[in-house]
Amino acid sequence: MEERDWLADRFEEHRSHLRSVAYRMLGSPSEADDAVQEAWIRLTRSGADGVENLGGWLTTVVSRVCLDMLRSRTARREELSDAPVHETAADDAARRDPEHEALLADSVGPALQVVLETLAPAERLAFVLHDLFAVPFDEIGVIVGRSPAAARQLASRARRRVQGATADAPADRARQRAVVDAFLAASRQGDFAALLALLDPDVVLRADETAVATGNIAAEVRGAAAVAETFAGRAAAAQPALVDGAVGLTWAPGGKPRAVFDLTIVGGRIVAIELILDREQVGALDVVLLDS
């Protein structure tokens, strides 16, 4: 019993995050609760032995549950085109408690939720996990059963549809550009304080195998101070670019992208950076140079 209580306490530490992920995936509070409950059931069956990162493990489980639910929803919609997908507003109000209200207040906007409904399940999962929660594509690929490059393409297609359908896309891109320009300037000037202000405290910098092989960067760097130290005084040759529709950075001698910094920006801060040097991966990206 003590072991189950310990497991329950650890699960509760992650419940809010899991509900947030599930709600963004499903757009339904009750379905999000069902997905989180299923994750708890699976945890009690398997236990946490051997799980080094419980939060990551639970996020993966919830994501897979949500993917199954989205696929089932799509199948039902094809069978019964007039079948309701979400609860009605009255049902939502009846089910909603203060915790649900906080969850919804922090959720994606109604316009984006409508657009998400038009995406295929795998596209929706890839977009939500990467763009909203900064989950790396190698982990997303495992969940959807595809390569990291294919997972990136899923998110890219979804991002283009979202940006094309939401009215505030130009404003969002302008805000991204402002952050990227400030980050680039701070990097070149070695302004450590400015870099810290632009980076989320839990920012993660990940480099692909080709970048790591150069010997100049680690496969993963975590935390604002460590990432700021990595970039301070560097990026002299980098320039702003659209990377699959989002503002990032590239090194493009002669106008041909050779390296890409794929930035994930949330709330005006950089929460994740992916450095891509692999020629095939860079070639698969839609990179459009922007005026410096």
Same domain, 152 and 178: no
For residue 76, the domain's CATH number is 1.10.1740
Is residue 121 in a domain? yes
pLDDT digits (tens, 9 = 90+) for 208-237: 889 999 888 898 899 999 999 999 988 889
Contact 229, 192 (CB under 8 A): yes
Is residue 164 in a domain? no
pLDDT digits (tens, 9 = 90+) for 34-61: 999 999 999 988 877 778 888 999 999 9
Say what the pLDDT of residue 103 is: 43
Contacts of 222 (CB under 8 A, 6+ apart): 202, 203, 204, 205
CA distance 203 to 223: 5
Q: Could you list the residue range(s) of the whole structural domain that residue 134 is in?
A: 116-158
Angle at 97 between CA 94 and CA 99, to 5 degrees: 150
Taking each helix axis from N to C terminus, what angle separates 29-46 and 54-79, rounded to the nearest 10 degrees?
130
Higher pLDDT, 292 or 93: 292
Same domain, 149 and 94: no
Confidence band of 1 (pLDDT split at 50, 70, 90): low
Last residue of a domain, one of 129, 158, 187: 158
Same domain, 175 and 284: yes
Say what the pLDDT of residue 292 is: 56
> Which segment of 73-77, 204-208, 216-220 scores lowest on mean pLDDT?
73-77
Same domain, 202 and 241: yes
CA-based nearest residue to 67, from 134, 125, 146: 125
For 252-274, what is the mean pLDDT? 89
For 247-272, what is the mean pLDDT? 89
Confidence band of 83 (pLDDT split at 50, 70, 90): very low
pLDDT surpasses 50 at 260: yes
pLDDT surpasses 90 at 12: yes
Same domain, 143 and 218: no
Q: What is the residue type of 48?
A: A
What are the beta bridge partners of residue 205? 221, 273
For residue 249, the domain's CATH number is 3.10.450.50
The rounded mean pLDDT for the chain is 81
pLDDT digits (tens, 9 = 90+) for 96-137: 444 443 443 344 455 567 678 778 888 899 999 998 888 889
* Residue 222 host element (H or E): strand 220-222
CA-based nearest residue to 127, from 154, 104, 150: 154
Is residue 62 in a domain? yes
Is residue 230 in a domain? yes
Domain count, the chain: 3
pLDDT digits (tens, 9 = 90+) for 152-163: 888 888 887 776
